Structure formats: structure tokens, C-alpha cells
Amino acid sequence: MTLLNNPRTRRRRFGVGAAALGLIAALFSAAPAGATPDPGDSPAAPKSVSKSDAADAKAAIKSGKIPAPDEIVHSDNIKHLANIPKDALPGTNSDLAFQGKYAFAGNYDGFRIFDISNPKKPRTVSQVLCPGSQNDISVSGNLLFLSTDSSRSDNSCSSTSQPATEKSSWEGMKVFDISDKANPRYVSAVETACGSHTHTLVPEKRNVYVYVSSYSPSATFPDCQPPHDGISVIKVPRKAPQKAAVVDFPVLFPGEGPDGGGNPGGPTNPGVSKTTGCHDITVLPSKDLAAGACMGDGILFSVKDPENPKVIDRVQDNKNFAFWHSATFNQKADKVVFTDELGGGGAATCDEATGPERGANGIYDVTGKGDKRKLVFKSYYKIPRHQAATENCVAHNGSLIPVKGKDLMVQAWYQGGVSVWDFTNSSKPKEIGYFERGPLSADTIQTGGSWSAYYYNGYVYSNDIAKGFDVLKIDDKRTDPAERVRVRELNVQTQPDYFD
């Protein structure tokens, strides 16, 4: 691991003891000039579009229907307060987490810590080079958690890309000590089956449980064998994070045969992803509930026993959902918003041809009580603004805006920007504000836009894949009550009880 621009600076296990301490010391003594991001974790190359699509995009820009490249547009109730461009970490910006006056921003090349005590002027506190897509990020107390979902030569921050077919390759979770925000310290790593695409914290007083979501096994991958029909559960002792270890692999989709019991995908369900694990899980600890977005399935499960989650209900949408991506509860836990990442986040799906129901959110009511609760579909929500054929756009990461008695959410849509919307009436959701930039290009699809857009203590923070860290302010009577709500820490996939 190398600290950059610091104002002050699938098999090899992370050893504990003298060997581990020696590795940590070596990492911190590495010269920053010698650290270069790994091209194996770079974003996909620009994709060409047809001449007619490029012409349509340019015509839409000229007519004003689509903003010009890099032009910022927004609704009257949203202000753009700040942007901090990418600096020493040129890779894809990913997820966000928050604690006190700090924001933690993942990047395929590592992570960055911002001081947001003045949201109009965020300040970089430290940048850590530690390549390994997608570097999904969470924090709890003095610990920071980082997902590695690309096959690496080892578990260090100086590893390089290596084929998953090699037994020595490593993927999984990394744990850092962030008691000194200017000098994060890498303390442990845990290998998990099929890596860690995302993760979710279930924090307790003495331990932090980490639910690791990963998918896409192959018989050719020694450490990622089918059927991969569950999640890895890691137990991290707060006082001894170096002892972090996998304690279970609960099967969420039991079934006979090599493929388990999840959605079979095509050709049985054309256009639907085969379920071979989960993409993302959101827990609501105050209600002992979790919702899982698991490729071809959406699930509701109990986390009363965090080491042994129990599935309560399971739903599919084989008509309109291609890839169940993420989930958000409303505060009362009587609704769940699931997102569909049609096209994997790299396609232009916010257009008239795709329509309002694909690449959208699916809103479900939660009915019944206890283990008899059911997910009942109510409606879809998709941003009402069509995007150019050169803009990757689809439903992505968002969070609640805490207003008592209302169900409001802010959400990232890649190059569709940031949408603020109301789903209090789960059958009639509506947008109430937005922010977006024009396409990165009018000729090719270049991966960009807002990866995550979250509400935290009065402001909206967005991590733009290409453009960096944005701060937005909503000025609207419908969202104003949220400004009085404060939390000490926010990992969106571990939803707080704002009004407890």
C-alpha cells in the first residue's frame, strides 16, 4: 500500500504476527514514485456507436434536448456546491461511506478520504493506492473495509492482475485501521470464494460481521467453483482485526444439481441473469431484516442471527429485470426498492427504445409479519429524461433522504446523473429534482457518470466515475426536514434507523 499526496503521507493468506507486521512496514516504506495503477483494473475502452446514433446525439445536443459534453444542468431546487477532480487515483470511482466529518471514496486503484466539514470546500486528507476492482468501501469505528473483485497475484496493495484460473490468485476483503485518517494502515485480508464484488456490514459492539457478495463461478476457477449460491460471512473482532476470518457460507438458493436453486436465466428466462450469488445486500439492523439483489432474484431475509441469515421471501421479474443490482428499504421497512442494472452499467438504456420499465427501479411493498412477510410488486421508477445513445445510463446506487412520514430517495444513474424522487405512494413514484452532466462524448460510449449518490447530514455526495467527487444541496420544502437529522456514520448498505 502506498499513500499518495498525503498532506502528512485466490490463495495466499494474510499472515498474522511478525510476517504480517513486516509486510505492513514494507508497504509503508515504498516510494510513491514507484507506485503505478494496475491497467488490469482500468475501465473498459470506449465503445463505438453507429453513425446514426452519433448523429442523433449531436442533433439532440444542438437542439438543447441533451446537454453538451460536460455541460451541467439541474433542477431549480438543486445546487452544485463543489467538485473535486480525480487526482492520484485515475481509476474508476466507485462507492462512498461516511463518518463524522469525513467521506471515504472508493476507486478501482484504491481509496480517497475527504474532510467534508465544509461541504462547499471538501479537502483531501489522504489517498491510498491499493488496486483491486471494484474497491467497494465501508467504515465502522476505526476500521475500513475494501472489496477486491479482480484476480490478483497476492493480497498486498502492490499486487498485479493474474488469471483466476491460477490457484495462487487472490480475491476477497481487505481491512484497514483508519484511526489516523491521514495515514490509513492495512491490517488484514480475508480470501473469499469468487472474491468480493460488494460487501455489507452487520456491526455489533465487539465484532463486525461482513456479508460478502460475489458471483459468476466457473469450473476453471480453483477458488470460485459452482454452484456459488450463497454469501461469505466474515467475522472481524474490533480489537483484533488481524483475526478476521470467514465463519460461514450460508446457502441462500438451495437446490439440486451443479447450478443450485437460483434463477436459471436463459434460455429458460431469456435476457435474465442466471443467479450464481448476490450482487449486493442491504441490512436494516433495527428491524433484523436484509434485502438481497441477487442477479436473477430479489430476496428478503432475517438477520436476527447474523452468522445464519434466513431467507423469508424470494421474487423474480423475468419480464423486465435483467440483473438485480441493489436494494433499499424505506424507514418503516414496509417497502423495498430494487434496482435493475440492465447492460451492466456500460450501456445506453435510458432512451425511448428501452422504455420506462427496463433498467429501472422495482418498488415492492412488504406485507405480513415475521417470517411470513412477502414482497409484493407495486410499480417501476425510471428517470423521465431520455439520455443520448452515447451515455451509459441505468439505475444504480442511492440512499434514503430521512423525512419522517415520507419515502424520499436520492439515486445515481451513471451518465443519467443524480435523481431525487418520491415513492411515498409506491404505485406512483415521481421525480422531484435532478442533476446531470452532458455526455462524455458525442461519438462513443465512454463509461462515466455518478456511481453513487447518497444523502448525508444535509448534503448529497456523488462519486462520479470520471469527473470526481461532487457535493450537491437540495433546497425543497419536501426534503428540508431531513436537514435536522444527523448520523455519526453512514454505510448506505447498513441502513440506520433515522428516527429511533
My answer on whether omega of the bond before 227 falls inside 30° of 0, hence cis, is yes
pLDDT score of 41: 59
421 Cβ contact list (under 8 Å, min separation 6)? 381, 408, 409, 411, 429, 430, 431, 432
Copy the grid coordinates of residue 11. Answer: 490463495
The per-residue pLDDT for range 434-446, each reduced to its tens digit, is 999 999 999 999 9
The amino acid present at 137, given as its one-letter code, is I
Question: How is the beta sheet containing 78-84 ordered, strand by strand?
Answer: 78-84, 468-474, 459-464, 450-456
Per-residue confidence band for 17, with pLDDT thresholds at 50, 70 and 90: very low
Do 85 and 468 touch, CB atoms closer than 8 A? yes
Query: What CATH number is associated with residue 244?
Result: 2.130.10.10
What whole-number distance in Å separates Cα of residue 282 and Cα of residue 209?
Answer: 13
DSSP letter at 71 equals: -
CA distance 16 to 114: 30
Q: Using CA atoms, how far apart are residues 92 and 94, in angstroms rounded to an integer?
A: 6
Residues in Cβ contact with 191 at an 8 Å cutoff, skipping those fewer than 6 apart: 10, 11, 13, 155, 170, 171, 172, 223
Q: Render pLDDT for 42-61 as a digit per residue (tens, 0 to 9).
A: 556 778 888 888 888 888 88
Question: What pLDDT is stored for residue 45 in this prediction?
Answer: 72
Question: What pLDDT shows up at residue 405?
Answer: 96
Number of domains in the chain: 1
406: its cell numbers = 415520507
CA distance 450 to 467: 9
Q: What is the pLDDT of residue 43?
A: 59
| Strand order across the 207-213 sheet | 198-203, 207-213, 232-237, 245-248
Q: What percent of the chain has pLDDT over 90?
A: 84
pLDDT in tens, 85-130: 999 999 999 999 999 999 999 999 999 999 999 999 999 999 999 9
Residue 216 is predicted with a pLDDT of 94
- What average pLDDT does range 222-227 have in this prediction? 96
Residue 163, C-beta contacts closer than 8 angstroms, at least 6 positions apart: 151, 169
Is 129 domain-assigned? yes
Q: Is a pLDDT exceeding 90 seen at residue 75?
A: yes
Residue 500 lies in a domain: no
Does residue 497 belong to any structural domain of this protein?
no
The model's confidence at residue 3, banded by pLDDT at 50, 70 and 90, is: confident
Predicted local distance difference test score (pLDDT) of residue 61: 86
- For the segment 486-498, the average pLDDT, to the nearest whole number, is 97
Tell me, what's the pLDDT at 259?
80
Query: Lowest-confidence range among 258-272, 316-330, 466-480?
Result: 258-272
User: Whole-angstrom Cα distance, residue 234 to residue 208?
Assistant: 8
Cis peptide before 267 (omega within 30 of 0): yes
The number of CA neighbours under 13 Å toward the Cβ of 211 is 29
Is the confidence at residue 9, as pLDDT, over 80? no
- Cα separation values, 500 from 32, 70, 284, 491, 496, Å: 45, 42, 12, 17, 9
List, for residues 391-419, the tens digit of each pLDDT value: 999 999 999 999 999 999 999 999 999 99
Confidence (pLDDT) at 469: 98
pLDDT digits (tens, 9 = 90+) for 184-196: 999 999 999 999 9
The residue range of the domain holding 474 is: 2-490
C-alpha cell at 276: 450464481
**Does residue 330 sit within a domain?**
yes
Task: Name which of 21-25, 302-306, 312-316, 390-394 the model is least confident about.
Answer: 21-25
Helix/strand/coil percent split, the chain, to 5: 10, 40, 50
Q: Is residue 77 part of a domain?
A: yes
Looking only at the bridges linking them, the beta strands covering 444-445 and 72-74 are unpaired
Query: Edge-to-edge strands of the sheet including 335-340?
Result: 324-329, 335-340, 361-367, 374-381
Cell of 180: 489516523
Is 234 among the domain residues? yes
Decide if 13 is inside a domain. yes
Is 90 exceeded by the pLDDT of residue 420? yes
Neighbours of 406 (CB within 10 A): 17
- Asked if the model's pLDDT at residue 21 lies above 50, the reply is no
Q: In angstroms, how far is the first alpha carbon of the chain from the final one?
A: 39
Q: How far apart are CA 294 and CA 229, in angstroms?
A: 9
Res 1: pLDDT? 79
Give the helix ranges, DSSP H, for 33-140.
51-63
Task: Establish if 375 belongs to a structural domain.
Answer: yes
Retrieve residue 225's grid coordinates.
467453483
Least confident of 53-57, 305-309, 480-484: 53-57
Mean pLDDT for the stretch of residues 281-292: 97
Q: What percentage of the chain carries pLDDT values higher than 70?
A: 92
Instruction: Look up cell 421474487; give the residue.
Output: 315
The answer, yes or no, to whether residue 237 has pLDDT greater than 70, is yes
Q: Is residue 152 a contact partner of residue 223, using CB atoms and an 8 Å limit?
A: no
Give per-residue pLDDT as tens, 361-391. 999 999 999 999 999 999 999 999 999 999 9
Higher-pLDDT residue of 6, 401: 401
Alpha-carbon gap, residue 238 to 244, rounded angstroms: 9
Omega prior to 225 cis, within 30 of 0? no
Three-state secondary-structure class, residue 355 = coil
**Selected residue with higher pLDDT from 25 and 466:** 466
